[in-house]
Amino acid sequence: MAGAPGCPIRVWLAGSLTSVICSLPLQIMRIKPHQSQHIGEMSFLQHSRCECRPKKDRTKPEKKSVRGRGKGQKRKRKKSRFKSWSVHCEPCSERRKHLFVQDPQTCKCSCKNTDSRCKARQLELNERTCRCDKPRR
């Protein structure tokens, strides 16, 4: 560090030497892609010894109830407090159960798709699979 222009600068704090500082001028090239280049001078301070800051007291703050949710986070479903004592129905077929609706009183599974919905798309309703299929020729 000795011998560099602007070196050394001694900094005293509370009667003791804390660090030796050098001021270093450096040339910096600023580049803007597809536009221009510019060379400029900036001066930086170089310290001979690091000075650590004392750690802050980190006490865990009390957690507040968070009302808002971040983007894309799902809402947790609340469990019902009382269970209905009605007859529990066997679920509709495991495969493609999203295609069926179940009547809770009769436990009967019926297709969500209707014949008119399939015909609007120029398809036929297959009642066994509950899907709109291409018509057979």
CATH of domain 97-133: 2.10.160.10
Averaged pLDDT for residues 74-91: 64
Considering only the top CATH level, what class is 9-47? mainly beta
Q: Looking at the predicted structure, is the pLDDT value of residue 31 above 90?
A: no
Please tell me the distance from the alpha carbon of residue 25 to that of residue 30, in angstroms, as a whole number. Answer: 16
Three-state DSSP class for residue 8: coil
Please tell me the distance from the alpha carbon of residue 25 to that of residue 43, in angstroms, as a whole number. Answer: 4
Q: Tell me the domain boundaries of the chain.
A: 9-47, 97-133
- The pLDDT, as a whole number, for residue 121 is 92
Work out the mean pLDDT of the chain and round it to a whole number: 74
CB atoms within 10 A of CB 111: 19
**Residue-by-residue DSSP string for 18-65:** EEEEEEEEEEEEEEETTTEEEEEEEEEEEESS--PPPPPP--PPPPPP
Please tell me the distance from the alpha carbon of residue 115 to that of residue 120, in angstroms, as a whole number. Answer: 9
Averaged pLDDT for residues 2-20: 55
Q: Looking at the predicted structure, is the pLDDT value of residue 84 above 90?
A: no
- Tell me if 9-47 shares its fold with 97-133: no
Peptide bond into 8 cis (omega under 30): yes
pTM for the complete prediction? 0.31
pLDDT tens-digit profile of 52-73? 777 787 777 676 666 666 666 6
- The pLDDT, as a whole number, for residue 101 is 84
Q: Looking at the predicted structure, is the pLDDT value of residue 123 above 70?
A: yes
- Residue 29 CB partners (closer than 8 Å, separation 6+): 37, 38, 39
Averaged pLDDT for residues 15-35: 75
pLDDT tens-digit profile of 39-49? 888 887 777 77
Q: Could you tell me the pLDDT band of residue 120, with boundaries at 50, 70 and 90? A: very high
